[in-house]
Amino acid sequence: MTMTADPIVRDAPPPTRDLYLALEQEFGARNYKPFDVVLSRGLGVWVWDVDGKRYLDCLSAYSAVNQGHCHPRILAALTEQASRLAITSRAFMNDQLPLFYKELCAATRSHRVLPMNSGAEAVESAIKVVRKWGYAVKGVPTDRAEVIVCANNFHGRTLTIVGFSTDPTARDGFGPFTPGFRIVPFGDATALEAAITPNTVAFLVEPIQGEAGVILPPRGYFKAVRKICTRHNIILILDEIQTGLGRTGRLLAEEHEGIEADLTLIGKALSGGFYPVSAVLSTDEILGVLKPGEHGSTFGGNPLACAVARAALKVLLEEGMIENAEAMGARFQAGLRGIDSPAIKEVRGRGLMMAIELHPEAGGARRYCEALRRRGVLCKDTHDHTIRVSPPLVITGSEVDWAVEQFETALTRPEAA
């Protein structure tokens, strides 16, 4: 066999930022519009780009890294398990999944867990479960089950999910869509009750609408929702994929109003950002409607995912991250509200899930996110006029104060930032 020369130049310089940007533009599907920063390393609340510049991460991968980037205990669990056994499929049991079930149920006061991978898979799984429950338990006629959702929701990107979105960017051009959904205004309990029919099986809702711009419902809304769902025998599904696992200063955001969902969805921070892990949490009655062969996932509940999730949950509970989210959230919001800028319309949030809404005449949120990037803070704009602010839950008081200084400069003098 004739050997050809190795085409790789071993001592070639590393790719530059511009080369990375060019490669993404040439070969990647253009379904994202990222900022012109190429990240290569992270630790705690900080990330570094390929040029060595450091940034405070105020997006946390949409709350996937609540525990901070590269948390050492989660990393250790990942590497240790990866060296032993990564996947078995659910055709066989493994020694991590039962412990994951037990620890997650204990932390969340759940009866049973359905393990999945992405948040969207958890949402799809929940829809299947509540439909099956509606037919098997509630007695809804076959193929007539309805699920009520809220306007301006965000639950994922699958065809079924975008079909009940009210965001034109998410749904236009992707039909036809799955039937069986009714849409009501978020925060309006009267509208929810009016939309219920004998075929209604569930109400799917975010405790705080994240992608919509961190929209908080009126106080008392979820207490009323809980009563309505109980009165009409429908399942209350809380999508806590972004709000859960400490982000709002509680393990689950439902705790702020002292209620319990019938079915809860978690993901993102369930793995501390190391691995796709999500879960559907519910009761014996609801999850018990699934029989062998009716639902599953090749990777769902694999031992590597379970070992990572167990460690991620432990550090969240044992290292005071939830309490820190409450304290640092109050400090961060107070600092942001103290900024005197004509661009700011409102600062809102709960815990470390925050948003700065700008006046329409301010020129758009992306302009200010670019100014923040130049000052070493990474944020994301949403819905044109809102900046989302969600740093990892391990942020310190001095880091919060430094970040507020950068926000003040960017929001008062964006061109100079």
What is the residue extent of each domain of the chain?
A: 17-70+320-412, 72-318
Name the residue with tokens 């039909």.
175
Own/partner pairs for 368-374, CB < 8 Å, 24+ apart? 368/343, 368/410, 368/411, 368/414, 369/35, 370/35, 370/414, 371/409, 371/410, 371/414, 371/415, 371/417, 372/58, 372/406, 372/407, 372/410, 372/417, 373/35, 373/37, 373/55, 374/417
CA-closest candidate to residue 282, choices 290, 274, 292: 290
As a CATH number, domain 17-70+320-412 is: 3.90.1150.10
What is d(CA 238, CA 150) in angstroms, rounded to the nearest whole number? 12
Query: Going along 30-163, which residue ranges are E strands?
Result: 39-43, 46-49, 54-57, 112-116, 146-150
Reading the block at residue 132, the tokens are: 């099956």
- The pLDDT, as a whole number, for residue 8 is 54
Report the catalytic residues: 154, 239, 268
Cα 91 to Cα 97, 290, 323, 410, distances in angstroms: 13, 16, 40, 54
Reading the block at residue 68, the tokens are: 């901070």
Name the residue with tokens 């815990």.
351
The burial of 79, by beta-carbon neighbours within 10 Å (0-12 exposed, 13-18 middle, 19 or more buried), is given as exposed
User: Which CATH number among 3.20.20.140, 3.40.640.10, 3.90.1300.10, 1.10.565.10 corresponds to the domain 72-318?
Assistant: 3.40.640.10
pTM for the model? 0.95
Mean pLDDT by 10 residues, the chain (417 residues): 51 85 94 94 98 97 98 98 97 97 98 98 98 98 98 98 97 97 98 98 98 97 98 98 98 98 98 98 97 96 98 98 98 98 98 98 96 97 96 98 98 82
Question: For the CA atoms of 189, 281, 114, 293, what is the dihedral angle to 10 degrees?
Answer: -50
